[in-house]
Chains A and B, each alone.
Chain A
Amino acid sequence: MFARLSLAALAIALVSGCSTPSPVLGGKNISYGDSKAVELVTNEFGSTDLQMIAESMTRSLAQSGVLHGRPVVQVYDVKNKTSEYIDTREITTSIKTQLMKSGAARFASDNTDMQSQVDQLKLQNQSGLYKKKTVAKTGNMIAAKYRLEGSISSIVKRSSDYKDVFYKFSLQLIDVESGLAEWMDEKEIRKTTER
């Protein structure tokens, strides 16, 4: 009896000693996927469309040569003219991030960031809470040379056999002083579902 118990205890000790602890906790049916994969789950606006638009627009703009000397750009929200709900802020955020990473442009506070920027300047200058020499001075914000604005529209057609969605994304860079459009590009995407 004692010998059997000892053997069992030894076996357990060996097994627990040999097994490598896994860094995974639970989740038999859950897995991480490739965030860069082509998403074809439905033909509504998806992650691949967002990534393709941001990539194509950013590279076209950066390579155009208009953004010479890292000018300051103000980004406006992309107008959603489609019938779908699309978080267009994510498109502008991706474009902004990629342009920033490429070193092609600098960005002024856009309309959503502006209130926080003004609040922070007021707090530093008017509250009397901060050391004078560390306070950010007012009147030194850099104005944008260009504004970047765009829109996305769609045409949806349905029949008994097909659903066809055509997206058109347009983006333009406008010189604030002259009002001239200095660069413009568009990206077209067609997605068709056969029933």
Chain B
Amino acid sequence: MRKTCLALAAVALLAGCATPPPAPGSAASKVVTMGQLDDIEIGQMRVARENGYLTVNVALTNSSRSNQTLFYRFAWLGSDGFPVADEESWKALPLYGKQAKFLPAIAPTPAARDFRLEVHTR
């Protein structure tokens, strides 16, 4: 009985700790966080097609009082999920303390159907 209780407690603890994977197609599923991303929250994403090119606008918020620099780049994917363009260069985006900002991006080719946002802070 004691063993069963312990096993149940362990299962409950594990289930509580495990982060559920983001739903496919959700904003969270598009973000690849490299290392720690403390204090910067990635919010809603607006995806549209303008003049044949995929355009993205990402809402960012610096939740801390201090200034932060976000390093980011987009990877543009085709309908098969593979990249349709060369790797982008990493870019730095400064965010003041408590600032909310939008990060716009345009795909390099009309062949882009989807994207990934790689983010990093140091």
Contacts and interface: CB of A to CB of B under 8 A. Distances in A.
A101 B88 contact: no
Contacts of A62: 53, 106, 108
Interface stretch (A53-61, A70-78, A109-117, A148-156): A53-61
A101 B85 contact: yes
A38 interface: yes
Classify chain A's interface size.
20 to 34
A102 B109 CA distance: 5
Contacts of A60: 106
Interface in A33-61: 34, 36-38, 47-48, 51-52, 55, 58-60
B107 to A, nearest CB: 8
A37 B90 contact: yes
B4 interface: no
Interface in A66-125: 98, 101-103
A38 B89 CA distance: 7
A38 B53 contact: no
Contact of A38 (B51, B55, B86, B92): B92
Interface of A: 34, 36-38, 47-48, 51-52, 55, 58-60, 62-65, 98, 101-103
